[in-house]
Amino acid sequence: MTAERRTKFQIYLDILEALSDELKNDSELQLTKIAHRANLPYDRFRSYLDYLAQLGMVSSEPDGGLAVTEKGAEYVQELRRNSEFLRRMGLMQ
Amino acid sequence: MIREALVLSEFVSIGLALVLVYFLLKICRFTRSISLLGLPIGFSHLALSYTFLALYLLYEENAIFSDSMLWLRLITQSFGCAFIAFSYYFTAKTDKPVRRLLMVISVASVLSILTFFVALLVTPPFLVLPSVQVAGNYSRVLNLVFLGYVVYYLVARLRSRDREFSDLVSAPIAFSVLWLAQYSLFIWGVDGSETAFTLAHVARLASLILFIGVYYSSGRVRR
């Protein structure tokens, strides 16, 4: 059985959730680790991350790190609700 | 008194269906997924069918107008059920969003229209419109098939996911209750049972409330 393809919004959700989880840890932020958690090749992960930064969901910190903005956090909340609704309605895996 | 209660029930149904359509459209816009549009299109047709029934009840004295409203009600209701069923059918068949939506629209439209032609052909006298009650029973059978497919699809999916049972059971219950509403209407169409008629209205309201409940409970996501 083949795995169902993720939609773009599922990919954004995976990236933002992986990033939020990693930021909760005190250890140094590793983008390769987040890419791995979001199940994406690094180059594609970078292009999605740049796009999320353009949208104001992710911001660069002065120390070179990354942060999920308030807009990003709200977006994650809404994405979670929507994907959960679609899952419960049987329209998504 | 009964008529007022029926009109009120139709207006409540319209309100609930429109709230559901609003949520579904919001999700389609947010996810930028046109393949999911079949569901809001389906529920908006159901909202239209409740509107036509309300208009029928309000202007029952005008025979030509009220008869037209009943016909429009039957057509929009079958369209609605067809759109919902084919949204599920093509979700499982293709992952190409545009193709999926086009297939849902075309197959749902063709099948719904075809049913009314069959109703015209099999009901004597030929080339004369059958009574709206006779056509209503044909369309209810079709609606039962459509909604039955959705229930079957969701229950089959549920059986493969034992651990998520409590999360995923609400949608098949909501569709089963909507199916029950159609079945009760069918029984009412056959024997005129008042109990079936009342049950149809109660079940329809309950199913719409359940769908909205699924949306709200999705906001309390466990991670």
CATH code of the domain covering residue B69: 1.20.1070.10
Task: Check pLDDT > 90 for residue B205.
Answer: yes
Task: Check pLDDT > 70 for residue B135.
Answer: yes
Residue of B nearest to A75 (CA): B30
Q: Measured between alpha carbons, how far is B9 from B54 in angstroms, rounded to an integer?
A: 9
pLDDT at residue B70, rounded to an integer: 87
pLDDT at residue B137, rounded to an integer: 85
Mean pLDDT of B190-194: 86
Where does the pLDDT of residue B151 fall: very low under 50, low under 70, confident under 90, or very high at 90 and above? Answer: very high
- How many domains does chain B fold into? 1
The beta-carbon neighbor of B221 closest among A8, A81, A90 is A81
Higher pLDDT, B154 or B109: B154
The beta-carbon neighbor of A84 closest among B31, B39, B218 is B218
Q: Residue B74 in contact with residue B135, Cβ under 8 Å? A: yes
Q: Measured between alpha carbons, how far is B25 from B66 in angstroms, rounded to an integer?
A: 31
pLDDT digits (tens, 9 = 90+) for B13-66: 999 999 999 999 988 887 776 667 888 989 999 999 999 999 998 988 887 788
Please answer yes or no on whether A9 and B88 come within 8 Å at the CB atom.
no
A7 in contact with B at a CB cutoff of 8 Å? Answer: yes
Domain-located, residue B223: no
Share of chain B above pLDDT 70, in %: 78
Domain-located, residue B187: yes
pLDDT at residue A87, rounded to an integer: 85
Q: Residue B135 in contact with residue B116, Cβ under 8 Å? A: yes
Beta strands in chain A (DSSP E): 58-60, 66-68
A8-88 carries CATH number 3.40.50.1110 = no
Give me the residues of A, 55-74, that contact B with CB < 8 A: none
pLDDT at residue A2, rounded to an integer: 44
B39 in contact with A at a CB cutoff of 8 Å? Answer: yes
Domain limits for position B198:
2-218
Mean pLDDT of chain B: 83
Q: Residue B119 in contact with residue B134, Cβ under 8 Å? A: yes
**For testing contact with chain B, the best of A77, A85, A87 (most B CBs within 10 A):** A85
Q: Hey, what's the torsion of the CAs at A68, A73, A79, A85, to 10 degrees?
A: 140
> Does the interface predicted TM-score (ipTM) exceed 0.85?
no
pLDDT digits (tens, 9 = 90+) for B166-191: 778 889 999 999 999 999 999 998 88
Buried b (16+ CB within 10 A) or exposed e, B96-113: ebeebbebbbebbeebbe
Domain-located, residue B204: yes
SS3 string of chain B? Answer: CHHHHHHHHHHHHHHHHHHHHHHHHHHHHHHCCHHHHHHHHHHHHHHHHHHHHHHHHHCCCCHHHHHHHHHHHHHHHHHHHHHHHHHHHHHHHCCCHHHHHHHHHHHHHHHHHHHHHHHHHHCCCCCCCCCHHHHHHHHHHHHHHHHHHHHHHHHHHHHCCHHHHHHHCHHHHHHHHHHHHHHHHHHHHHHCCHHHHHHHHHHHHHHHHHHHHHHHHHCCCCC
The beta-carbon neighbor of B214 closest among A8, A78, A89 is A89
B217 in contact with A at a CB cutoff of 8 Å? Answer: yes
pLDDT digits (tens, 9 = 90+) for A6-54: 777 788 888 888 888 887 776 667 788 888 988 899 899 999 988 888 8
